[in-house]
Amino acid sequence: MAQLWGGRFQGEISELAWKFNASIYFDKRLINQDVLGSKAHVKMLAKQGIISDEECLSIHKGLDSIIKDVEDGKLEITDKYEDIHSFIEANLIERIGDAGKKMHTGRSRNDQVALDMRLYTREEVRHTGETLFNLLKVLDNLMREHIDTYMPGFTHLQKAQPVTLAHHLGAYFEMFKRDATRLCDIYKRMNYCPLGAGALAGTTYPLDREFVALQLGFYGPTVNSMDSVSDRDYLIEFLSALSLIMMHLSRFSEEVIIWNSNEYNFVTIDDAYSTGSSIMPQKKNPDIAELVRGKTGRVYGSLNSLLVTMKGIPLAYDKDMQEDKEVSFDAIDNTKNCIILFTDMLRSMKFNKDVMEKSAIRGFTDATDAADYLVKKGVPFRDAHGIIGRIVLNCIEKNCGISDLSLDELKSFSDKFENDIYEAISLKNIIEKRLTIGAPSKASMKKALEKNKEFLDLFWTRCQSPIYPDLESDD
């Protein structure tokens, strides 16, 4: 047990308490962020004359050698240390001696860990944005390919009105687009540097917090030192954004599972994203989609866990906050994996166009348009609704569709029917007549596709920029 404190203690911490208290098991993944923050910190200490330039250089070299040795497998991160911060400091002192003991001047682990988590989360917000970009690209390509692929649209999982596959996928494009802009909002709000807040009340050293903030790519330093060490809002916002992404992925997965069922057969999932059964030779199961749906609950759990952890914590830092890491890492890893796998599954999925189109015709998806036809011939809508309802009942008895009835049969329900009814309720007409903004006709969808392109161009350019985007002003 190599602890950072000692002077004040007479006895040893119990082994169980040491293990219970330690975070090295999971915060070791913050090693690069910790070193980055320490390097910026000591550079500022040297600039301010708090340590010498030679000491700063020696600390930089020592920190680089630690990273290299860990990467090369020469130095193992063990639970002899409480956390990644003490592991690095102890190893640094071992390597460079007294200069290493000066690294922590004007700093506390409270602002140090606040910085590390922010740096880590900031990168993960970007990564998540990039994976979403790939999903949006795949959706956009599929939309372009399937602008003429007809399928039934559903409400209550009952056939409602015909739409196109491009239109259906376009709904998901909008959801993931909002998710992407949400990440930009979070980045914008969180990108301030907490280092220099000290334990909670700043420090008497003449630190240049602005210098450190700019070194590390932040917009500037945080304003209040107590808030700086105890703020985990940005993580909660991120977990909430991840939960929304998962909610969208989960709904989509549910549809893929339904579409892939023997009864629907709208899609065929590629073998690379299906699994078989140990007993039933015929089975090809949509496990990836099911797992995405399943992991959604787990990500919600992380959000809920951190919300509950934070709700009773008095200012400023309390150890409860160490609990922010495992749940966040789990949610971040899982959501990114889900986006990547779902994207690959979607890209390789086969859409059975003929089956979808046949299904779009059956099930009275033309009933609304048949009623609208009568309205255009002067029948009040409520009466038209009643007439078509009776026709549907009649068709169910005969096991046929509305357009299978002869004109004489139709006229027995209303003398307003003419020969043009058949054209009016043809599948193509039903869709192509829907010309309003956001509707499934080709003309409307082409406008949506233009917007897709604008968004994707803008989002990608911003993803590439060193200071991550504020998309709000462009919306």
Question: What are 390-397's contacts with CB under 8 Å, separation 24+?
Answer: 392/364, 392/367, 395/364
What residues have CB less than 8 Å from 209, skipping those under 6 apart? 193, 195, 196, 221
Considering only 190, 321, 331, 367, the residue that binds ligand ARG (CB under 6 A) is 321
First to last CA, the chain: 54
User: Rounded to whole angstroms, how far apart are CA atoms 37 and 33?
Assistant: 6
Q: Which is nearer to ligand ARG, 83 or 179 (CB)?
A: 83
Q: What region, left, alpha or beta, does residue 425 occupy, with left being phi > 0 and alpha being psi -120 to 50 degrees? A: alpha
Site for ligand ARG in 71-100 (CB under 6 A): 83
User: Shortest Cβ distance from residue 30 to ligand ARG (Å)?
Assistant: 9
User: Rounded to whole angstroms, how far apart are CA atoms 239 and 471?
Assistant: 20
Which contiguous run of DSSP H or E holds residue 334? helix 324-348
Site for ligand ARG in 95-124 (CB under 6 A): 109-110, 113
Residue whose tokens read 């690294």: 103
Residue whose tokens read 């009942």: 393
| DSSP letter (8 states) at residue 404 | G
Which 3 state secondary structure label does DSSP give 21? helix
From residue 9 to residue 48, what is the string marking binding to ligand ARG with x (rule CB under 6 A)?
--------------x---x---------------------
Separation in Å, CA 248 to CA 251, 269, 306, 335, 342:
5, 19, 21, 11, 11
Helix (H), strand (E), coil (C) string for 71-109? HCCCCCCCCCECCHHHHHHHHHHHHHCHHHHCCCCCCCH
Residue 225 in contact with ligand ARG, rule: CB under 6 A: no
Active site residue 167: no
Residue whose tokens read 């029948």: 379
Active site residue 277: yes
Amino acid sitting at position 214: L
CA diameter of the chain: 102
Question: What are 56-63's contacts with CB under 8 Å, separation 24+?
Answer: 58/96, 58/99, 58/100, 59/92, 59/96, 59/99, 59/100, 59/102, 59/103, 61/96, 62/92, 62/95, 62/96, 62/99, 62/100, 63/35, 63/38, 63/39, 63/88, 63/92
Separation in Å, CA 296 to CA 47, 336, 342, 344:
48, 12, 13, 18
Q: Of 156, 278, 465, 473, which is the active-site residue?
A: 156
Considering only 322, 337, 352, 429, the residue that binds ligand ARG (CB under 6 A) is 322
Q: Which is nearer to ligand ARG, 26 or 460 (CB)?
A: 26
User: Shortest Cβ distance from residue 22 to ligand ARG (Å)?
Assistant: 8
Contact assessment for residue 272 and residue 348, using Cβ atoms and an 8 Å cutoff: yes
Contact assessment for residue 219 and residue 171, using Cβ atoms and an 8 Å cutoff: no
Residue whose tokens read 């609208």: 372
Nearest to 229 by CA among 113, 329, 325, 121: 113
Q: Which is nearer to ligand ARG, 120 or 317 (CB)?
A: 317
User: Shortest Cβ distance from residue 230 to ligand ARG (Å)?
Assistant: 10
What residues have CB less than 8 Å from 173, skipping those under 6 apart? 136, 139, 140, 143, 452
User: Rounded to whole angstroms, how far apart are CA atoms 4 and 167?
Assistant: 60
Q: Of 14, 52, 277, 412, which is the active-site residue?
A: 277
Which residues are identified as catalytic?
156, 277
| Residues of this chain that bind ligand ARG (CB under 6 A) | 23, 27, 83, 109-110, 113, 317, 319, 321-322
